[in-house]
């Protein structure tokens, strides 16, 4: 649960910072207000989206790859998340739907959302810290 909360907070801050980089801003006319509303929306929306995406993905990885390392699970999860993001952007781009002005075009989407998926995969799936208490002991 702690890993899930950390992932939501990292995603919220990353999204909020990306929202205030270049005008026009998505949530408000000023940078400070846009940052506040982007943080607020991230805290509300990201737990739902991540619960729908990340928890079943983790369960699937543990079920279908039980003897793989956590690093392998993290890499596979990053690939799966990238494929989901690519399908989402590519479907909109190929259908001819124009990108709204606050999304700054499809190039910015292709730059931000794969980076976002990578950061999410690392923060949720990558094993940080030692599992054993005596991993650093010399014998």
Give 136's pLDDT tier (boundaries 50, 70, 90): low
pLDDT in tens, 48-99: 999 999 999 999 999 999 999 999 999 999 999 999 999 999 999 999 989 8
pLDDT in tens, 86-104: 999 999 999 998 988 888 8
31: tokens are 């940078």
State the Cα–Cα distance between residues 55 and 8, nearest whole angstrom.
13
- CA–chain centroid gap for 7, Å, is 8
Q: CA torsion angle for 51, 53, 57, 58 (degrees, to 10)?
A: -30
* Phi-psi map region of 104: left, alpha, beta (phi>0 left; psi -120 to 50 alpha): left
- CA–chain centroid gap for 136, Å, is 32
Q: Inform me whether the pLDDT recorded for 134 exceeds 80.
A: no
81: tokens are 């998340």
CB 78 within 8 A of CB 117: yes
State the Cα–Cα distance between residues 25 and 13, nearest whole angstrom.
15
What is the model's pTM? 0.84
Cβ neighbours of residue 49 closer than 8 Å, sequence gap 6 or more: none
Residue 12 to residues 43, 50, 68, 86, 93, Cα–Cα distance (Å): 6, 12, 30, 20, 25
């Amino acid at each position: 649960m702690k890993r899930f909360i950390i992932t939501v907070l990292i995603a919220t801050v990353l999204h909020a910072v990306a929202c205030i980089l270049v005008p026009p801003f998505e949530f408000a006319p000023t940078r400070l207000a846009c940052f506040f509303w982007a943080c607020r929306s991230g805290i509300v929306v990201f737990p739902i989206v991540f619960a729908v995406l990340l928890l079943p993905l983790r369960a699937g990885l543990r079920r279908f790859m039980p003897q793989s390392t956590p690093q392998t699970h993290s890499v596979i999860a990053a690939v799966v998340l990238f494929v989901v993001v690519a399908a989402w952007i590519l479907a909109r781009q190929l259908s001819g739907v124009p990108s709204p002005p606050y999304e700054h075009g499809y190039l910015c989407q292709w730059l931000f959302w794969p980076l976002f998926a990578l950061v999410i995969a690392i923060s949720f799936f990558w094993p940080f810290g030692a599992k054993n208490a005596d991993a650093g002991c010399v014998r």
